[in-house]
Structure 1
Amino acid sequence: MMKVTCNETLAVSIHRVINADLNEHGTVFGGRLLELVDGEASVAAMRVTRSTIVTAAMDHVQFLRPFRLQDSMCMEAYVTGLGHRSLEVFVKVIGEHLQTGERFLGFTCLMTYVIQDPHREVLYDELEPTTAEQQALVRGYAQRRQHRATDRQAQQDLLKHVTIRKPWE
């Protein structure tokens, strides 16, 4: 049995908010934040797969507080659940007002990644949490995974009714 700790998968980076990140409200554009988060989470995911992965889902997305010019965004991502070919990564983004030093939780989400090669599997079969935060997230993984499976089936049922015709037809 191969074991990995959540801390061994931890990926951390800091991004300074610049004008190019902002939307018309003067806050970080949501799509830009999702792009940064996906990149960060993929590093954590590849630490347990060591192979090419694809983003399968992003859920429990919470935009808690906006990020503005003069803020930094510290992204932390670590693995919170292991499957055979898939895994879950938790991401939180902590903001810091650089002129005052005030820190705040601005964003959280869970990402699911799948190994692209159908013949490869996740390298570990046991995940060990260290902190109370990690313990709570790892403990809830099985329930979230089951919920995602149910949601996937409902989505497949809905997609049967979605048309892809040209809008002018």
Structure 2
Amino acid sequence: MKQVNKMTQLTCSDTEIVTTHRILSADLNEHGTLFGGRLLSIVDAEASIAALRVAKQTVVTATIDHVNFQQPFHLGDAMEMHATVVHLGQRSIEVFVKVLRENLTAGQREVAFTACLLYVVADHNFVMPVDEIIPETASQRYLVATAAQRQQARQLMRATNLELSKRI
């Protein structure tokens, strides 16, 4: 087993990534709004950076859950994504993502999308180099405090999905 220099703590802000994307015509669906699959693809790719800031090695997406499409994005809008690590398991890293929609001509900004992504380190011998994620803001404290509830919900959904797979 590989020896890892263990840090003890990281703040949520230490893992945060912020990216901005402009909505272009190639991103739109038949309704003239951002295609949800395109948004999920961008979110998954960018949020993995937050997980990599902790793991420092290859992670794979295990789940994308608590997905909430709140507002549509339109041509010319900007989407500003904030992703931060809010929970650590033995090999898993939960990242919370919030995406703001900005109407660039009106200067209006609003939360348009939120989700939780669970990444797992591919190496089965991996030792988490961080013991604890420390929240700094009220929203981070809430997300860290409720991580166990989301983990239980994932475990229940996994059991449900396994049972479904057996029956179809």
The normalised TM-score by structure 2 is 0.94
Give unmatched runs, 5+ long, in structure 1. 163-169
Deviation digits for residues 51-82 of structure 1 (CA, Å, limit 9, x no counterpart): 10000000000000000012000000000110
Q: Distance in 2 between matches of 1:45 and 1:5?
A: 13
Structure 1 segments, 4+ long, off by >3 Å, are none
Aligned residues: 162
Does residue 17 (structure 1) correspond to residue 23 (structure 2)? The answer is yes
Q: Once the two structures are aligned, what percentage of the paired residues are identical?
A: 50
Partner of residue 76, structure 1: 82
1:151 to 147, 150, 157: 157
1:98 maps to which residue? 104
Which amino acid in structure 2 is aligned with residue 53 of structure 1?
V
Q: Unpaired segments of 5 or more residues in structure 2?
A: 1-6
Q: Is the 8 A contact 1:40 1:76 kept in 2?
A: no
What is the CA–CA distance in structure 1 between the aligned matches of 2:86 and 2:99, rounded to whole Å? 16
Deviation of residue 147 (structure 1)? 1.7
Amino acid across the alignment from 1:80: V
User: What does 1:86-165 correspond to in 2, within 5 Å?
Assistant: 86-162=92-168
1:121 Cα deviation after fit: 2.7
Decide whether the 8 Å contact of 1:115 with 1:121 is kept in 2: no
Q: What corresponds to 1:57 in structure 2?
A: 63
User: Aligned match of 1:42 in 26, 45, 48?
Assistant: 48
Alignment deviations for residues 128-164 of structure 1 (CA, whole Å, 9 cap, x no partner): 00010100000000111122112211111111012xx
**Aligned residue type for 2:146:** G
In the superposition, the TM-score normalised over structure 1's length comes to 0.94
SS of residue in 1 equivalent to 2:159: helix
- Aligned counterparts of 1:2 and 1:155: Cα–Cα separation in 2: 35
Deviation at 1:87, TM superposition (A): 1.2
